[in-house]
Amino acid sequence: MYLTPEQQAILNGSQGETMAKVWKTLVMYGEAFGADKMVPVTSTYNHLVTSFGLKMMKPVFDLMQQLIDAGAVSQQQFSVDPRPVDKNVPANFLQNFIFKKIMYATQEQYEGQLKQLGLMDKDAFTCACYLDQMGNKPQKGEVLSWAESSAVVYANSVLGARCNRNSGIMDIMGSIAGFVPNFGLLTDEGRKATWVVKVQCKQKPEAQLLGSAIGMKVMEDVPYVMGMESWLGTELNDENCAYLKDFGAATASNGAVGLYHIANLTPEAKELGELLIAQGAQEYIIDDAELERVKKNYPVMWKNPDAKPKLCFVGCPHMSLQQLIDWTVAVEKGLKESGNKKVLIPTVFTTAPGVKKEFEKTEYAERLEKTGIILSYICPLMYMNNPLCKSMPVMTSSNKLRTYTTARYYTEAEILTKITKGGN
Amino acid sequence: MKEFKGRVIAPGTVTAEAVVSHSGFNTLASFQGALQFGDKKATCGDQNNADLHGKALAGKALCLPQTIGSTTGGLVIYCACAMERQPACMLFSKPIDSLAAAGSILASVWLDGISMPVVDSLGDEFLDYVQHGMTITVKDGGVVCVE
């Protein structure tokens, strides 16, 4: 890989041993993928995946401290994934004890490290930092050093920014150096589609299910998705962006997709059309039967598959403002139809702190509260990652949450029926 | 006995028993429970991986196509190495993905005395041939012997 004389000097130790190790890490990372050079990070902000002061992460905290002590802090401010704990989310005495005293006992200390390294502000905790209310929305063509699989795939696909699927820690290394290696999704060639996905469903496919099917099939490749125009149209409005947010998160967690193109909708597909499809691309046809097959193959991890759900999570990744409003209206309608006043299963909607603040200014906040639904900024995945929650029958409309925890996946319509009308 | 040749990502030699994933290896889903709750064998917790769910990963020769899932994947590998619960080696049939590469590189640059040889691009035939319980020897130069 070509390095400028200045970059080579830093690698050789001109700015100290720690900065030399930061550069060595990035150069080795680039060389593993045939990068030709280092390119400047051009986004205003970074986004990190490690938001949780989990005890098992001690080696990461030690490394972060090493960076801070050496003055090797981020050249950009950053947002970070959601906080793992929120007192408003239902938890019994034992669960609270485990969260605060055992699992996330180092949360406060770690947040102190994040501040020193360049955290944007005390509320910059969300997996959906690109939502308008959060202030970290990169522009088309900007080069990022982000991590968080759902954010990376959104930034690349919906916003047209350029970012590889960086790991936690590697994300901040790029921000400290101000450069990232030029390979993969940063290059025109790496952004070409090696799969053509033809959607032939009779009705609009569930975003999280379609994303799951595609992720499992293409793994880390780039899919070019056709056949969505009758449902999504050709404009990236709020509804479509929310759909693509959930779709992308499923492609990235059930597979390893970092970029997708939707014909006539996402920015590069609109500009370049089928020129984006690489020669020899493979084909995957998805119809209703295929989606049903994928859904049926999800393992049910509840001890008793017929148990009544004890908790429901909607909002992984975090919900947009429009999604919160739409869900509020839908829940009210469902409750009215069933003659119930409040939801029948404890339900938590999760969203970004900035979105929560905006939502609370609207009339819908009070209406949602009346339904009994709790609104939180928590990361449901972090909430679920302990033996007590693992044994609870929890349901979700998130395919990401299903993948990493024992939560059981249902479509949004199924969730709505269960929480407003009952039934296992 | 069959020999395969790949590309060295992290150098080293080792002999260990094979554990094999034919589907993408979800690093976070596989390691999170084990690292959090003191399981020294690092039992695979990924319910979606029928090949590996419930099998010990620490000290084994982990054979896989590539890793998938959360971008915490690299730091999970880094933590597993720091806690000495990492596989003996990671052997990829396909070119390595960015998360696994990051984990392997972070461990080699920032941790002292940690060895986890990583070889990629061993080819589909490697993953077709290798089975759980076989003995794997990683030699210099990306040579992998399976018997």
The pLDDT assigned to A98 comes to 82
Do B71 and A152 lie within an 8 Å CB cutoff? yes
Cβ–Cβ < 8 Å for B64, B25: yes
A5-186, CATH topology level: Aconitase; domain 3 (3.30.499)
Strand-pairing partners, residue B2, are: B146
Name the residue among B16, B13, B38 with its Cα closest to residue B87: B16
A residues 211-230 closer than 8 Å to B (CB): 215, 219-220
Average pLDDT value for residue range A42-56: 92
A406/B47 touch (CB, cutoff 8 Å), yes or no: yes
A25 touches chain B (CB under 8 A): yes
Report the residue count for chain A: 424
What is the residue whose two structure tokens read 């900024």?
Answer: A377
Residue A205, both tokens: 């496919």
Which amino acid is present at A227?
G
> A 112-151 residues with CB below 8 A of B?
147-149
Residues of A in Cβ contact (< 8 Å) with B48: 298-299, 403
Residues from chain B that touch A32, judged by Cβ atoms under 8 A, are: 9, 96, 101, 105
- How far is the C-alpha of A251 from the C-alpha of A203, rounded, in Å? 20
What whole-number distance in Å separates Cα of residue B36 and Cα of residue A202? Answer: 44
For residue A424, the model assigns a pLDDT of: 58
Q: What are the phi and psi torsion angles at B91 (to 5°)?
A: -125, 115
Which residue in A19, A154, A167, A253 has the most chain B C-beta atoms within 10 A of its own C-beta, making it the best mutation to test that interface? Answer: A167
Query: Are A45 and A93 contacting, i.e. CB atoms less than 8 angstroms apart?
Result: no
User: Is residue A220 within 8 Å of B64, Cβ to Cβ?
Assistant: no
Mean pLDDT of chain B: 95
**Chain A interface includes B121 (CB < 8 A):** no
Peptide bond into A90 cis (omega under 30): no
Per the listing, tokens 């970012």 go with A163
pLDDT of residue A91: 84
**3-class SS of residue A417:** helix
Helix (H) or strand (E) segment spanning residue A72: none
For residue A146, what are the contacts with CB-CB under 8 A and spacing of at least 6? A43, A46, A47, A48, A152, A155, A163, A166, A171
Residue extents of the structural domains in chain A: 5-186, 189-296, 311-420
Q: Report the DSSP beta bridge partners of residue A349.
A: A314, A375
Strand-pairing partners, residue A408, are A395
Cα–Cα distance between A299 and A254 in angstroms, integer? Answer: 13
Q: CB of A162 within 8 A of CB of A142?
A: yes
Query: How close B98 comes to chain A (CA, Å)?
Result: 6
Task: List the single residue in B36, B74, B78 with the smallest CB-CB distance to A385.
Answer: B36
Closest-CA residue of A relative to B81 is: A59
Does ipTM top 0.95? Answer: no
Per residue in A65-107, pLDDT tens?
A: 999 999 999 889 999 999 998 988 888 888 888 887 788 888 9
- Spatial separation of the C-alpha atoms in residues A130 and A148, rounded to whole Å: 12
Q: Does B80 touch chain A if contact means CB atoms closer than 8 Å?
A: no
| Average pLDDT, integer, range A331-349 | 98
Q: How many domains does chain B have?
A: 1
CATH number at residue B127: 3.50.30.10
Cβ count near A4 (within 10 Å): 11
CATH of domain A311-420: 3.30.499.10
Per-residue pLDDT of chain B (147 residues; tens, 9 = 90+): 999 999 999 999 999 999 999 999 999 999 988 888 889 999 999 989 999 999 999 999 999 999 998 999 999 999 999 999 999 999 999 999 999 999 999 999 999 988 899 999 999 999 999 999 999 999 999 999 999
Do B120 and B9 touch, CB atoms closer than 8 A? yes
Q: Do domains A5-186 and A311-420 have the same CATH topology?
A: yes
Q: In whole angstroms, give the CA distance from residue A123 to residue A109.
A: 16
Query: For residue A293, which amino acid is it?
Result: R
B interface test, pick of A56, A64, A163, A186 with most B CB neighbours within 10 Å:
A56
Rounded Cα distance, A343 and A417, in Å: 10
Nearest to B9 among A32, A63, A301 (CB): A32
Nearest in space to A58 (alpha carbons), one of B144, B79, B22, B124 = B79
> Min CA distance, B17 vs chain A (Å)?
26
Q: Please state whether the predicted TM-score (pTM) of the whole model is above 0.90.
A: yes
Selected residues 49-68 of chain B with any CB under 8 Å from a CB in chain A: 65-68
Tokens 């959060």 -> residue: A134
Burial (0-12, 13-18, 19+ Cβ within 10 Å), A68: middle
Give A149's Cβ-side CA count (13 Å radius). 31
Residue A301 contacts B where some CB pair is shorter than 8 Å: yes
Whether A50 and chain B come into contact, CB under 8 Å, resolves to yes
- Using DSSP, state whether A232 is helix, strand or coil: helix
Provide the pLDDT confidence category of residue A387 given band limits of 50, 70 and 90.
Answer: confident
> Which three-class secondary structure state does DSSP give residue B102?
helix
Q: How many CB atoms lie within 10 A of CB A121?
A: 12
Range of the domain at B136: 2-146
